[in-house]
Amino acid sequence: MSSVRVRFAPSPTGELHIGGARTALFNYLFARAKKGTFILRIDDTDLERSRAEYTEALLDAMRWLGLEWDEGPYYQSRRLERYEDEAARLLKEGKAYRCFCTPEELTAGREQAHKDGKNYLYPGTCRDLTPEKIEEYCESGRDFVVRLRIPDEGSTVVRDLIRGEVRFNHRDLDDFIIMKSNGLPTYNFASVVDDAEMKITDVIRAEEHLSNTPRQQLCLEALGYEQPRYAHVPMILAPDRSKLSKRHGATSVEEFRSRGYLPEALINYMALLGWSPGEKEILPLSEMIPLFSLERVNKTAAIYDTTKLTWMNGQYLRAVPPERLAAEALPFYTAAGLVEPPLGGEEEEYYEKVVKAVSDRVKTLAEMADASTYFYREVDSYDEKGVRKHFRKEGSAALLRRAASLLHTLEPFDLDSVESGYRNLSKELGISAGRLIHPTRLAISGRTMGPGLFDIIVLLGREKTVSRLEKAALWIERQ
Ligand code: GLU
- Residue 170 is given by DSSP the state G
244-to-10, 55, 247, 253, 284 alpha-carbon distances in Å: 18, 22, 8, 14, 25
Topology of the domain covering 5-75+188-236 = Rossmann fold (3.40.50)
| Kind plus residue range of the DSSP H or E element containing 405 | helix 396-409
CA of 60 to the centre of ligand 1 (A): 19
Number of other residues whose CB lies within 10 A of the CB of residue 29: 25
- Which of the listed residues 11, 193, 207 should we mutate to test ligand 1's pocket, taking the one with most ligand atoms within 8 A of CB? 11
Q: In whole angstroms, what is the distance from residue 403 CA to residue 141 CA?
A: 92
Residue 8: CA count within 13 A, CB half-sphere:
28
Which residues are identified as catalytic?
Answer: 246
Pairing type for strands 177-179 and 145-148 reads antiparallel
Ligand 1 closest atom vs CA 204: 8
Q: Are 44 and 11 in contact (CB under 8 A)?
A: yes
Residues 6+ apart with CB under 8 A from 266: 21, 65, 253, 256, 309, 313
The architecture in CATH of the region 81-179 reads: Alpha-Beta Complex (3.90)
Cβ density class 54-66: b for 16+ within 10 Å, e for less: bbebbbebbebbe
Span 71-99, pLDDT tens digits: 999 999 999 999 999 999 999 999 999 99
Q: Are 200 and 173 in contact (CB under 8 A)?
A: no
Ligand 1 closest atom vs CA 216: 9
CATH number assigned to the domain with residue range 320-375, chosen from the 4 options 1.10.287, 3.40.50, 1.10.540, 1.10.8: 1.10.8
Ligand 1 closest atom vs CA 208: 10
Q: Which of 89, 104, 77 is nearest to 185 (CA)?
A: 77
CA of 203 to the centre of ligand 1 (A): 10
Ligand 1 closest atom vs CA 205: 8
Sheet strand arrangement including 71-75:
71-75, 37-42, 5-8, 202-206, 229-233, 155-160, 164-169
Q: Which of 254, 348, 365, 391 is nearest to 310 (CA)?
A: 365
Chain centroid to CA 168: 33
Phi, psi values for residue 79, rounded to 5°: -120, 25
Task: Show the beta-strand stretches assigned E in 335-415.
Answer: none
- Which of the listed residues 7, 76, 205, 207 should we mutate to test ligand 1's pocket, taking the one with most ligand atoms within 8 A of CB? 205
CA of 271 to the centre of ligand 1 (A): 19
407-to-400, 468, 469 alpha-carbon distances in Å: 11, 12, 10
CA of 53 to the centre of ligand 1 (A): 18
- Which of the listed residues 22, 40, 184, 191 should we mutate to test ligand 1's pocket, taking the one with most ligand atoms within 8 A of CB? 191
- Which of the listed residues 209, 210, 213, 216 should we mutate to test ligand 1's pocket, taking the one with most ligand atoms within 8 A of CB? 209
Nearest CA to ligand 1 atom 4: 10
To 10 degrees, the CA torsion angle through 53, 58, 63, 68? -130
- Which ranges in the chain are annotated with CATH 1.10.8? 320-375
CA of 256 to the centre of ligand 1 (A): 22
Q: In whole angstroms, what is the distance from residue 446 CA to residue 384 CA?
A: 9
Give the binding-site residues of ligand 1, using a 6 Å CB cut-off: 9-11, 43, 191, 205, 209
- Which ranges in the chain are annotated with CATH 3.90.800.10? 81-179
Is the bond preceding 284 in cis, omega lying within 30 degrees of 0? no
Q: Which of 409, 422, 418 is nearest to 463 (CA)?
A: 409
Ligand 1 closest atom vs CA 212: 9
Q: In whole angstroms, what is the distance from residue 431 CA to residue 395 CA?
A: 12
Q: pLDDT digit of tens for each residue in the chain (479 aa)?
A: 779 999 999 999 999 999 999 999 999 999 999 999 999 999 999 989 999 999 999 999 999 999 999 999 999 999 999 999 999 999 999 999 999 999 999 999 999 999 999 999 999 999 999 999 999 999 999 999 999 999 999 999 999 999 999 999 999 999 999 999 999 999 999 999 999 999 999 999 999 999 999 999 999 999 999 999 999 999 999 989 998 888 888 899 999 999 999 999 999 999 999 999 988 999 999 999 999 999 999 999 999 999 999 999 999 999 999 999 999 999 999 999 999 999 989 999 999 999 999 999 999 999 999 999 999 999 999 999 999 999 999 999 999 999 999 999 999 999 999 999 999 999 999 999 999 999 999 999 999 999 999 999 999 999 999 999 999 999 999 98
Ligand 1 closest atom vs CA 7: 8
Q: Which of 257, 209, 219, 194 is nearest to 63 (CA)?
A: 257
| Kind plus residue range of the DSSP H or E element containing 421 | helix 415-429
Residues 6+ apart with CB under 8 A from 226: 196, 220
Residue type, 306: T
Topology of the domain covering 246-315 = Glutamyl-tRNA Synthetase; domain 2 (1.10.1160)
SS3 37: strand
Nearest CA to ligand 1 atom 10: 10
Class of domain 384-478: mainly alpha
CA of 87 to the centre of ligand 1 (A): 20
CA of 287 to the centre of ligand 1 (A): 27
Nearest CA to ligand 1 atom 3: 10
- Which ranges in the chain are annotated with CATH 3.40.50.620? 5-75+188-236
Q: In whole angstroms, what is the distance from residue 382 CA to residue 391 CA?
A: 10
